């Protein structure tokens, strides 16, 4: 489960930001984990909630957005939605697809407190 490792990386980013920006607690953490990112959003949420006690994330609301996968189909020259890597183009059934969205894993924003 690589989501546990990713959760540790997210916590490290939050701790680095806290040192820079001088806050002591995260109220809300909003992430984006695209459908083509290879990240299971529910497993990531579980991992974050598991490591939160005793950290800046303790008690934080964790929101994870999962934007759809998108790709440019070279065969039909269209941008199409993809549920997962390896799927065929929903329009022409071809496999010449270049992913263009939904691959991201990133922190979108934090709501923090200094109390």
Tokens representing residue 3 in the block: 């989501």
Closest CA to 25 of 76, 61, 78, 51: 61
* CATH code where residue 45 lies: 3.30.2320.50
Q: Is residue 52 part of a domain?
A: yes
The model's confidence at residue 115, banded by pLDDT at 50, 70 and 90, is: confident
Q: Is residue 95 part of a domain?
A: no
Q: pTM for the complete prediction?
A: 0.86
How many domains does one find in the chain? Answer: 1
For the stretch 30-43, pLDDT in tens is 999 999 999 999 99
Q: Is residue 39 part of a domain?
A: yes
For the stretch 83-92, pLDDT in tens is 888 999 999 9
Cα 36-112-22 angle, rounded to 5 deg = 115
Q: Average of pLDDT values for 73-94?
A: 93
């Amino acid at each position: 489960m690589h989501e546990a490792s990713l959760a540790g990386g997210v916590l490290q980013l939050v701790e680095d930001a806290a040192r820079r920006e001088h806050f002591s607690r995260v109220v809300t953490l909003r992430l984006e984990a695209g459908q083509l990112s290879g990240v299971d959003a529910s497993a990531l949420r579980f991992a974050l909630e598991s490591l939160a006690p005793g950290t800046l994330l303790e008690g934080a609301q964790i929101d994870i957005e999962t934007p759809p996968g998108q790709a440019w189909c070279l065969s039909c020259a269209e941008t199409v939605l993809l549920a997962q890597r390896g799927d065929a183009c929903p329009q022409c059934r071809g496999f010449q697809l270049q992913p263009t969205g939904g691959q991201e894993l990133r922190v979108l924003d934090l709501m923090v407190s200094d109390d």
